Amino acid sequence: MKVKTKLAQLKANYGDISDREISELTGIDERQLKELENGEARAIEFDTLAQLCAFFQCTPNDLFVLDWEEVEIDTTPPSAEELSKASKIINKAFARAEAMPPRPAEEIWKSFEATVDRIASQRENSEPSVNGTNFDA
Locate the domains of the chain by residue range. 2-126
Fold for the domain defined by 2-126: 434 Repressor (Amino-terminal Domain) (1.10.260)
Model pLDDT for residues 64-107, shown as the tens digit of each residue: 998 877 567 778 999 999 999 999 999 999 999 889 888 888 99
Asked if 122 and 115 count as a contact pair (C-beta separation under 8 A), the reply is: no
- The alpha-helical segments, DSSP class H, found in 1-137 are 7-13, 19-26, 30-38, 46-56, 60-63, 80-99, 105-126
The model carries a pTM of 0.51
Q: Which residue has the higher pLDDT, 71 or 135?
A: 71
What pLDDT sits at residue 71?
A: 63
Residue among 72, 75, 63 at smallest CA distance from 3: 63
Give the largest CA-CA distance in the chain: 63
Q: How confident is the model at residue 134 (pLDDT cuts 50, 70, 90)?
A: very low
